[in-house]
Amino acid sequence: MHVYLPIAEMSANIFIYLGMGGAIGFLSGVFGVGGGFLMTPLLIFSGIPPAVAVGTGAPQNTAASISGAMAQWRRNNIDFKMGWVLLVGGIGGSIVGVQFVKWLRTMGQFDLFVSLCYVTFLGAIGTLMMIESINAIVKSKKGQSTGGRRSGQHNWMHGLPFKTRFKRSKLYISVIPPLLLGVLVGFLSAIMGVGGGFIVVPAMIYLLRMPTGVVVGTSLFQICFITGMTTVLHAYENQTVDIVLAMMLMLGSVIGAQFGAAAGQKLKGEQLRFLLALLVVMVGFRMAFELVQMPADLFSIGPALQAH
């Protein structure tokens, strides 16, 4: 069964995109990421234009994150104070990011820039996460502590001003690091069509030293608002949100996220981090392959140059 996508200007199989949304929604509930780092490349691989994939990935991300956040809220896994700090920074970052996308499209460099961003961020972050999670799993099997922060241990963040207490995360740190993290997440959300979960989740775990269980819910909470705002901005500024495609993806995502949240409770923190790292690395490799493989349609500008 096919339907026409007005913004993407192509015909699409309904069941393929419903299934795609369901799979990404499931991953969103398990890992606490909006799934945009997987959805946007999958849409591009399926033939959706990159600009439309980025713009339409945002509302799907919003739906999956809302569904997953509600499930995590019922389990008391959200640090709302931390979420609001991340959100304030994210709003500013997303506004700048949407304008940057508009400029890249006028320059004709948007497709290449998005691919390079995915390869760089996913490759680096996924590799670092995988190394750490493997070490944590090995320590766990040996009976050693896998906790990131020991009593009395401090890092450079403890010397920063504007400290506040985040009770749910059991932290007393400056608001500056999470605020700047929010700016980065908002910027990437606009450029890459992601909620930034693949950035904010490892950052909250390894940089802010938040408990893994709380990280998942807090990440989904801030992603809901960031991707929602990015959707509106892309629709208004760039007209790249295909509502028909978005509805199919959102329907599948909302259902999948509920099953994912339940499944995530059955895995240990280090196991969740390893599986997320594996997914991130795989997508990064796939995007890198797309950049170097020979295109299906070869062309040459030689004759045009000779004409002049």
User: What distance in Å separates the CA atoms of residue 211 and residue 223, rounded to the nearest whole number?
Assistant: 18
Whether pLDDT at 89 is above 80: yes
- Domain boundary assignment for the chain: 2-141+160-291
Which of the four pLDDT bands, split at 50, 70 and 90, describes residue 33? low
Please report the pLDDT score of residue 203 as a whole number.
Answer: 77
φ/ψ of residue 96, rounded to 5? -65, -40
Whether 47 has a pLDDT exceeding 70, the answer reads: yes
Instruction: Please state the rounded mean pLDDT for residues 200-219.
Output: 77
Q: Exposed (0-12), middle (13-18) or buried (19+): which is 56, by Cβ within 10 Å?
A: buried
Q: Does the structure show a pLDDT above 60 at 149?
A: no
Of 222, 224, 257, 285, which is closest to residue 31 (Cα–Cα)?
257
> What is the C-alpha to C-alpha distance for residues 112 and 122, in angstroms, rounded to an integer?
15
Residue from 76, 129, 104 nearest 261 by CA? 76
pLDDT above 90 coverage of the chain, percent: 0
Helix (H) or strand (E) holding 6, with range, is: none
CB-CB contact of 182 with 89 (8 Å): yes
Residue 270's pLDDT is: 65
DSSP string, 155-175: -GGGGSSSEEEETTTTEEEES
Residue 151 pLDDT grade (very low, low, confident, very high; cuts 50, 70, 90): very low
Taking the CA atoms of 269, 147, 194 and 110 in sequence, report the sign of the dihedral they define: negative
Give me the pLDDT at residue 61, please: 72
| Residue 150: band (very low, low, confident or very high) from pLDDT cuts 50, 70, 90 | very low
- Average pLDDT of the residues in 260-268: 69
Closest CA to 202 of 145, 287, 128: 128
307, pLDDT greater than 60: no
Q: What is the mean pLDDT of the chain?
A: 75
pLDDT at 93 over 60: yes
- DSSP annotation of 294 reads P
Report the residue count for the chain.
308
- According to the model, what pLDDT value does residue 288 have? 77
